[in-house]
Amino acid sequence: MVVEDGDIFGDGINVAARLKALAEPGGICVSARVQEDAVGKLDLAFEDMGERALKNIARPVRAYRVAMERRTDCEGTGAVAASLTHGRQWSWLKAWGIQVAQRRGMRRAIVAVARRLPVVLHRMWVDGSEFRWRKDGAAVPAVA
């Protein structure tokens, strides 16, 4: 990855842009590398979409769709809505989303978290870090 005059270049950025186009409206699509880093660390399920030939990417990329739970009693749908309403694992991202929902409504919270989640996943992928359940990096109590 290269940063030049505020622009970001590199295969990772190109792959992310191409995978975004594969995602359903309101959905999230990630590469195998991001899926491997996130599985077991985030309260998400992934559906294998197989290897995909992506424009301007030399090799095929295995793509994963974040599993969506369709709900009729919620304005939003998708993995973020399911995580905010049904996810048992606590995280700073979920707590932030719930605060947004209390102030601005569930629909806006879903959009806000959906926009923030790829940034978090990308940061994990770039620097090889694990998901921090708390912003301060401290341990989080186990979920019963």
Tell me the per-residue pLDDT of 16-54, one tens digit each, with 9 for 90 and over: 888 888 888 778 888 888 888 887 777 778 889 999 888
Helix (H, G, I), strand (E, B) or coil at 62: strand
Per-residue model confidence (pLDDT) at position 8? 47
Q: Which long-range contacts (CB under 8 A, 24 or more apart) does 22-25 make?
A: 22/49, 22/52, 22/63, 22/65, 23/65, 24/65, 24/68
pTM of the model: 0.46
pLDDT at residue 51, rounded to an integer: 92
